[in-house]
Structure 1
Amino acid sequence: MRIDDLWLRYGRRAPWVLREVSLSLSPGETAVLLGRNGAGKSTLIRAMVGTLTPARGRITDRPAEVGWVPERFPPDQPFTVLDYLTFMGAARGLTRARAATTATDWAERFSLTPYLGVRLSSLSKGTAQKVGLTQALLVRPGLLVLDEPTEGLDAAVLAELPAVITEMAVAGTAVVVSDHSGKLVDLPGSRRWLVADGRITEEHLDAGDARCVIEVEVSAARAPAVVAQLRAAGHDVLRIRHEPAAERSPS
């Protein structure tokens, strides 16, 4: 897939969200989108999957089969999990029997089996996210795009997700991941696209310059100053989580 001189904005007179974006991704490659919230990562993803038309530039060689996990899976639908997944598989060319079997296999891998008969509207955020992951993988996509896929997932599925991404890439799927939680920033062999100030640059890491994620706990009163200090020192602040004192693990 190639992206050539892409410009994106919401409205004719609106400010540009992204401009002069040129990227390429070959089959089997994985790219991780980095950048603060609101930098334009989800905007680029929408253009990649074809739900947002660029104002300028073009996207070519997009694979025919695209698997997309949006940041928020829309659960307010009148289907059970299995009925929804079977329908989605059939819409992509599978027989209903094959779609149901494939959905059941992925459901087992994502600890979703107990919820197959539950209506989507009754699911928790994390369980709905598992449905979103499953629907994207019913037919192996040529392009798999994951927009904040870790939100709400339990530890077992979080541990499984990098293996799934790697398997897709080995099979020839191009994968794009945006994850501000930092849980997927170091996928093996991945390229890193940094979104900042409306433009995207590729971040090249030397073998000895691997990234790691460190959690820092400070008082709520000091948080703004600490965040400012970390950013001034060149660090990426991936997430700020507020926890009541009663919920913290004892030291």
Structure 2
Amino acid sequence: MDKNILEVSNVSKEIGGKKILKNITFTCEDYTTLAIRGSNGSGKSTLLKILAGIYEPTSGVVNRGNRKVGYVTEHFPESLRFKLKEYLILTASFQNIPKQQIEEDLIKYIEMFNLQAHVNTPLKKCSKGTKQKVGIIQALMMKPDILLLDEPLTGLDSATQSELFYLLEKLKKQVTIIFTTHEEKMIESLADAIFSVESGEVLHNPQFRTLQKLIKVNFKDQSILRKLNPDQITYEGNTAFITVDTTKSDELLLALLNNNCSILEVKERREV
């Protein structure tokens, strides 16, 4: 599979005589965050279940090699009687993980996801956001190579969405992430590549996004900025907004400082 962690070839799926997916083909590289975009009913959730091995394709092949897959469903089970920590210990024990490792992982993830106040709270009394975090921790306890998230923003308020973006940004360095969504906000914040499906068919194969940096800077002489030849630049009075490829950003920042410009903000952005 070379650097591809996942290969999907001509996958179709029929359920109850209805064709849900039609000849889906794509690949995903290791340590990529891939967004599967599509409207409700487009087939993206069915595709994610096939990637997870929950559904078998009617035809076609999914090649994961020996990779482990963690799956987080859109709707967390509502009737579980366990407390938060009890549930995570139980689900981890199904994976034959040593008890000491389970305890060490729980300490790490409970702190990472800021759940210290909820470890002894019954799951049925937890908020949607807390349950979403529990679902992700459950999947991560498996030590997956691929983390699959089905519509992870469903039911979350804006503050919890922002917190989830931050957590997933940290996880991107540890695991390949594939998520379904019709929310452009999540795609903009996290996706390295975008795969589009509509009515069970491919609209666009994975399109990788160029990582860029947006630099906000105060300047005294506009001619200095023009000489630096940035990729894109707009002005608001004596403030400039410069978009530059990440590979060129350090050199440009140094040049700006050497020309007595004041750097106000630097942030990443992605463009297809």
Using structure 1 for the length normalisation, give the TM-score.
0.73
Number of matched pairs:
206
2:59 to 15, 32, 56: 56
Q: Distance in 2 between matches of 1:193 and 1:23?
A: 8
Q: Secondary structure at the match of 2:29?
A: coil
Equivalent residue for 1:197? 199
Q: Secondary structure at the match of 1:185?
A: helix
Conserved in 1, the CA contact under 8 Å of 2:192 and 2:208? no
Deviation at 1:207, TM superposition (A): 5.5
Q: Distance in 2 between matches of 1:205 and 1:56?
A: 27
Q: Distance in 2 between matches of 1:127 and 1:143?
A: 22
1:122-158 CA distances to partner (integer Å, 9 max, x unpaired)? 2232222221121112243101101111233455543
Q: Within 5 Å, which residues of 2 pair with 1:32-111?
A: 32-111=35-114
Equivalent residue for 1:15? 18
List gaps (5 residues or longer) in structure 1.
209-251
Deviation at 1:15, TM superposition (A): 2.0
Determine which structure has the larger strand proportion and give its number: 2
Q: Distance in 1 between matches of 2:194 and 2:33?
A: 9
List gaps (5 residues or longer) in structure 2.
1-5, 212-272
Equivalent residue for 2:258? none
Q: Which moved more, 1:61-70 or 1:192-201?
A: 61-70
Deviation at 1:188, TM superposition (A): 4.9
Equivalent residue for 1:162? 165
Q: Secondary structure at the match of 2:80?
A: coil
Conserved in 2, the CA contact under 8 Å of 1:127 and 1:153? no
Q: 1:90 to 1:207 in 2, by over 3 A?
A: closer
Q: Distance in 2 between matches of 1:122 and 1:164?
A: 23
Q: 1:181 to 1:82 in 2, by over 3 A?
A: same
Q: Distance in 2 between matches of 1:109 and 1:30?
A: 20
2:136 to 118, 133, 144: 133
Conserved in 2, the CA contact under 8 Å of 1:191 and 1:202? no
Larger Rg: 2
Percent identity between the aligned chains?
26
Task: Tell me which amino acid in the other structure corresponds to 2:9.
Answer: D
1:41-60 CA distances to partner (integer Å, 9 max, x unpaired)? 10000000000111101111
For the aligned residue pairs, the C-alpha RMSD in angstroms reads 2.5
Task: Tell me which amino acid in the other structure corresponds to 2:200.
Answer: G
Task: Tell me which amino acid in the other structure corresponds to 1:87.
Answer: L
Q: 1:192 to 1:65 in 2, by over 3 A?
A: same
Q: Which moved more, 1:98-107 or 1:50-59?
A: 98-107
Conserved in 2, the CA contact under 8 Å of 1:85 and 1:100? no
Task: Tell me which amino acid in the other structure corresponds to 1:25.
Answer: C
Q: Within 5 Å, which residues of 2 pair with 1:145-160?
A: 145-153=148-156, 155=158, 157-160=160-163
Q: 1:63 to 1:169 in 2, by over 3 A?
A: farther
Conserved in 2, the CA contact under 8 Å of 1:75 and 1:128? no
Using structure 2 for the length normalisation, give the TM-score.
0.68
Q: Distance in 1 between matches of 2:91 and 2:173?
A: 24
Q: Distance in 2 between matches of 1:76 and 1:98?
A: 28
